[in-house]
Amino acid sequence: MDNLKKSRVETLDWLRGLMALSIMFYHLIYWIFNPLDASNPLGRLGIYGVSIFFILSGLSMAIVYNTYIDSILKSIIFYIRRIFRIWPLLWVICFVLVIPILLKTGTFDWKLLFLNLTTLFGFLKPTAYIPTGAWSIGNEMVYYALTPLILFLYNTKKWFGNVFFVFTLIIGLFFSFYLLKSNLDLPAQWPTYVNPFNNLFLYVMGIALFYNFKETNISTKLNLSLLIIAVILFCILPFSGNQISIVTGIGRIVFSILSFIIVFCFYKLNINVPKTFGNILETFGIATYGIYLIHPVVYLYTGSLLEKINSKNNFLLLGTTVVLTILISIFSYNFFELPMIKIGKKFTNSFESFFQKQKVKPQKI
């Protein structure tokens, strides 16, 4: 009944975890110490860490679902499973943020809450997100809606899918060269940047990576060389000023290519690392969603608590937030997110079984 591939690509979990940590540190250093611009590697990761998430998401969906989604029923099952993965923790974070406001003011924008709890904000108003960074979750839900179509195109003819990928590249270029203005700061153009069609090419890039390179073998030496070069270029290329410089024009092209190379190298990476080190990286990888959503909330409450005890130690705020975020995220994954994923799988297995029985009924004799 459940023909999904069970295996995870461990190295992709490593990259996913590293990106989650980089985004957390980007936010915390930005909030606690000083804003980071495009000249700083961490300032670049604040933008392209999320871009790499989009590529990883597309690649992961293709790895898991490429042979599974072959009907409307399987598409519905895919959607339900994604909802069981995304909604539960998002709901918790939304309520943790909304309840204090409700208790203090006695009111809240219920339409805004509804859009967040259903993730419809991604389709209707991408800037209408409650948790910090949740715009990317809204984008993801739009991409999930398109995933069965994209996989259908690739499974029908690979070049069908590649044509669609090129189409999304053209849309991305239109955003980076025309809709986003290089002479205006990124915050002033945030609604344009978080439009799901701006980053769609990154998600489709991940799917294209799977279909075009799944059989490609690359030596470990060459792979590591490419990875090191890509990381160095990512860090030292001469871009500076507001982050708009790396999401428009040539900057958008260069950093998107480097992001693709980094994901490709991790996808094809085949190295042995010390078991403890590998386990740590994988733990961060599976706790990524929690780290991404939880760290702003932990920062908010930790900062408030330290204020009440008259502590203005920024390093204490940073360290406490990081440690608590990681611990809460690991706990959340193992005792909340994973059980919800299992419930989603159990429900969809029953759902699929029911419809298969309705479809194939024994004939009366």
d(CA 106, CA 92): 19
Reported as a single tens digit per residue, the pLDDT across 286-342 is 999 999 999 999 999 999 999 999 888 999 999 999 999 999 999 999 999 999 999
Nearest to 271 by CA among 316, 317, 319, 218: 218
Each residue's pLDDT tens digit, 107-117: 899 999 999 99
| 73-82 average pLDDT score | 96
Task: For residue range 230-249, list pLDDT tens digits in order.
Answer: 999 999 999 999 999 999 99
Sequence-distant (≥ 6) Cβ neighbours of residue 185 within 8 angstroms: 242, 244
CA gyration radius, the chain: 21
pLDDT of 354:
84
pLDDT band at 161 (very low <50, low <70, confident <90, very high): very high
Sign of CA dihedral 348, 200, 53, 271: positive
Other C-beta atoms lying within 10 Å of the C-beta of residue 339: 12
Q: What is the pLDDT of residue 358?
A: 73
pLDDT tier, 359 (very low <50, low <70, confident <90, very high otherwise) = low
Signed CA dihedral, 296, 298, 299, 301: sign only: positive
What average pLDDT does the segment 252-278 reach?
94
Cα 193 to Cα 127: distance, rounded to the nearest angstrom: 10
The answer, yes or no, to whether residue 101 has pLDDT greater than 50, is yes
pTM, two decimal places? 0.94
Query: Could you tell me which of 153, 250, 164 has the C-alpha nearest to residue 200?
Result: 164
Q: pLDDT for 47-68, tens place per residue?
A: 999 999 999 999 999 999 999 9
pLDDT band at 278 (very low <50, low <70, confident <90, very high): confident
- Is it the case that residue 363 has pLDDT exceeding 50? no
Give the max Cα distance, the chain.
Answer: 82
CB atoms within 10 A of CB 276: 8
Every domain of the chain and the residues it spans: 10-353
CA dihedral 52, 130, 28, 201 (to 10 degrees): 10
pLDDT digit string (tens) for 186-225?
Answer: 999 999 999 999 999 999 999 999 999 999 999 999 999 9
Q: Do 352 and 1 touch, CB atoms closer than 8 A? A: yes
Residue 268 neighbours by CB under 8 Å, 6+ apart: 213, 216, 217, 218, 223
Token representation of residue 209: 């990576």
Residue 8 pLDDT grade (very low, low, confident, very high; cuts 50, 70, 90): low
Q: Looking at residues 4-20, what average pLDDT do you find?
A: 82
- Within 13 Å, how many C-alpha atoms sit on residue 243's CB side? 20
pLDDT digits (tens, 9 = 90+) for 123-144: 999 999 999 999 999 999 999 9
Average pLDDT score over residue span 2-25: 82
